[in-house]
Amino acid sequence: MAKIDVTELDIFYISYDEPNCEEHWADLLNKVPWAKRVHGVKGFDEAHKTAARQSETDRFITVDGDNIVMDDFFEQVLDVPDQDHDGNNISESVFSWNAKNILNGLVYGNGGLKCWPRQYVLDMKTHESADDEEGMEFCWKLNYIQLNDTFSEVHQTASPFQAFRAGFREGVKMSLDQGARVLPDEFSQKIWWQNYNRLQTWCNIGTDVENGLWAIYGARLGCEMTVLSDWDTNLISDYEWFKDFFTNDVLPRFPGDTVCNYSKVSYSPEMLYIAIQDIGLRLNEGINEMMLFDPNEQMCKFFKKTYVNPRRWGVMIREKQIQDLLEKGLIQ
């Protein structure tokens, strides 16, 4: 069992085009002035490889451009075993901590801090470098250990495009079973129950946040295109496709006078809301046990107030360990 102080590892801030990335970078430097930055590298796989090439430690931490890290993360000491829970060499395991999404209150691995083995990253083939459907998501392709504790907040709605992209990506990923498509009439049975619940949340919650409508629309559209069409889901790893899709296909559907403070794009919230309702009807009718309603601020605030965040159990406690204990009634 090795002990690793988080502050002894290289810490990389990976940003691309996030409207709030400079604010978040300044916040990180205030907490860890020695942090390094990878900015503007196209492709999820290549951005992480760029960090690995620059890393001077065998493991390194990554912070996404839409993340604000909690202060106490930098006080953590990792107890790293020689093998993971399945007997695999820990040197080929990625540690992922939970993050709280400010949009909808969800707490899970999406956007959370990661601890990567340097050589493993250099050898991996994911996202734009993958040769199969599982490559669009790190946790499907790699030996990924999801840990239970939460150490950052995700802010993904600074602009309509950022919010739409975040929602659309999760709408696609949460509608797949380890990268594989699922038939509409088998959806609630085949999709892992936590992803099923998270998908419903992405598709319903967030109207109380600026640009939250765009995230909800993105999640519903991503789900619809994934489950009810034969669209190529691997495109969500293509930065240029996303930008072109939003600019030339999505945004022109909603001409209006509401202007985003960050990006200055204009749109009609009223038309966007009607489109959200229309997709919701199609998803409820086309996919078994979908539970989409017309989003409203009161419902969103109620959900966030009553949603119970995972309790902290220790920096290296796995999410699955807690789930197993809960199912056995050994903890509450």
Query: Measured over all CA atoms, what is the biggest interatomic distance in the chain, rounded to whole angstroms?
Result: 59
The arithmetic mean of pLDDT across residues 311-316, rounded, is: 50
Parallel, antiparallel, or unpaired for β 10-15 and 36-39? parallel
CA 258/CA 265 separation, integer angstroms: 8
Question: How far, CA to CA in Å, does 230 sit from each of 168, 181, 209, 227?
Answer: 16, 9, 32, 8
Same domain, 171 and 139: no
Band of pLDDT at residue 102, cut at 50, 70 and 90? very high
pLDDT at 81 > cutoff 80: no
pLDDT at 80 > cutoff 80: no
Same domain, 192 and 57: no
Residue of 100, 76, 206 whose CA lies nearest to 153? 100
Same domain, 165 and 151: no
Band of pLDDT at residue 315, cut at 50, 70 and 90? very low
The arithmetic mean of pLDDT across residues 247-270, rounded, is: 96
Band of pLDDT at residue 129, cut at 50, 70 and 90? low
Per-residue pLDDT tens digits for 203-230: 999 999 999 999 999 999 999 999 999 9
Is residue 237 assigned to a domain? Answer: yes
CA 30/CA 70 separation, integer angstroms: 12
Instruction: Please give the distance of CA 313 from its chain centroid, rounded to a whole number.
Output: 22
The arithmetic mean of pLDDT across residues 56-60, rounded, is: 95
Same domain, 149 and 165: no
Residue written as token pair 């190529």: 232
Is residue 19 assigned to a domain? Answer: yes
> What one-character-per-residue DSSP string does 68-119 give?
EE-GGGGG-EEEE-SB-TTS-BGGG-EEEEEEEETTT--EESTT--EEEEHH
Same domain, 24 and 119: yes
Band of pLDDT at residue 132, cut at 50, 70 and 90? low
Name the average pLDDT for the chain. 88
pLDDT at 137 > cutoff 60: no
Q: By percentage, how much of the chain surpasses pLDDT 90?
A: 67
Same domain, 78 and 174: no
Is residue 301 assigned to a domain? Answer: no
pTM value > 0.85: yes
Same domain, 164 and 123: no
Is residue 300 assigned to a domain? Answer: no
Structure tokens that stand for 110 in this block: 């999406």
The count of structural domains within the chain is 2
Same domain, 212 and 123: no
Q: Which amino acid is at 171?
A: G
Band of pLDDT at residue 268, cut at 50, 70 and 90? very high
Same domain, 86 and 134: yes
Backbone angles phi, psi at 313, to 5 degrees: -120, -10
Per-residue pLDDT tens digits for 32-43: 999 999 999 998
Higher pLDDT: 227 or 327? It is 227
Same domain, 168 and 273: yes
Is residue 88 assigned to a domain? Answer: yes
Is residue 241 assigned to a domain? Answer: yes
Per-residue pLDDT tens digits for 161-175: 999 999 999 999 999
Where in the sequence is the domain holding 145, given as residue range(s)?
2-155+309-327
- Is 318:85 a contact under the CB 8 Å cutoff? yes
pLDDT of residue 44: 87
Is residue 282 assigned to a domain? Answer: yes
Is residue 304 assigned to a domain? Answer: no
Backbone angles phi, psi at 12, to 5 degrees: -115, 135
Question: How far, CA to CA in Å, does 187 sit from each of 172, 174, 231, 284, 294?
Answer: 13, 11, 17, 12, 21
pLDDT of residue 167: 98
